[in-house]
Structure 1
């Protein structure tokens, strides 16, 4: 099984913020399109490390992760199988991602 780890702060942006490109280069849409989608299509499993930044906004997380279902046609089941994420200090960020994926899937 092929696995890829994305470290958001080291590989994408030191201060990920906003939903759309007009909010800045480090927005959720850019993260989804530039990192999440290509890696989810290429690898069997993708793990996203969110350490190094503690102020992820709901708009960033919703666009990046919920957008996988709304905009990219991934299913909830597929994401459950292929995607994991972690933040070692702020577990509420993990809970918010779970919530945004479930909301996009119509489960909450």
Structure 2
């Protein structure tokens, strides 16, 4: 099991979709923090993502980070492995899961 705390491990101020859009993008987060855990097709360990403590999330950040991951590694694999924690905004978890379940609707 791996835990990724976006506030502590990445930033308090998540940015936009792409690295070219500026610092702390969804693309950067996906590449640096998520994709490495998906390279081994036999690794089925849980990845816990703690969402609390940031100044909020742009839709483009969430879609690129998690929808982008599903486009590369598949919806089922992402839903099976990722677990989200948010005590501040419970609806954000449903939003992220919708990006994973429908990765082609960016």
TM-score by length of 1: 0.85
- 3-state SS of the aligned residue for 2:102? helix
What is the count of residue pairs matched by the alignment?
102
- RMSD between superposed Cα atoms in Å: 1.7
Counterparts of 1:1-108 in structure 2 under 5 Å?
A: 3-41=1-39, 44-70=45-71, 72=72, 74-104=73-103
After TM superposition, the runs of 4+ consecutive aligned structure 1 residues lying more than 4 A away are none
TM-score by length of 2: 0.86
Write the distance in 2 (CA, Å) between the matches of 1:57 and 1:91: 16
The verdict on how the C-alpha distance between 1:9 and 1:92 changes in structure 2, with shifts beyond 3 A counting, is same
Write the distance in 2 (CA, Å) between the matches of 1:17 and 1:23: 8
Q: Any idea what the Cα deviations from partners look like across 1:6-50, whole Å, max 9, x if unmatched?
A: 000110111011000122220000000000111344651111000
- Unmatched tracts of structure 2, length 5 or more: none
- Unmatched tracts of structure 1, length 5 or more: none
Write the distance in 2 (CA, Å) between the matches of 1:105 and 1:46: 23
What's the offset of the Cα at 1:54?
A: 4.7
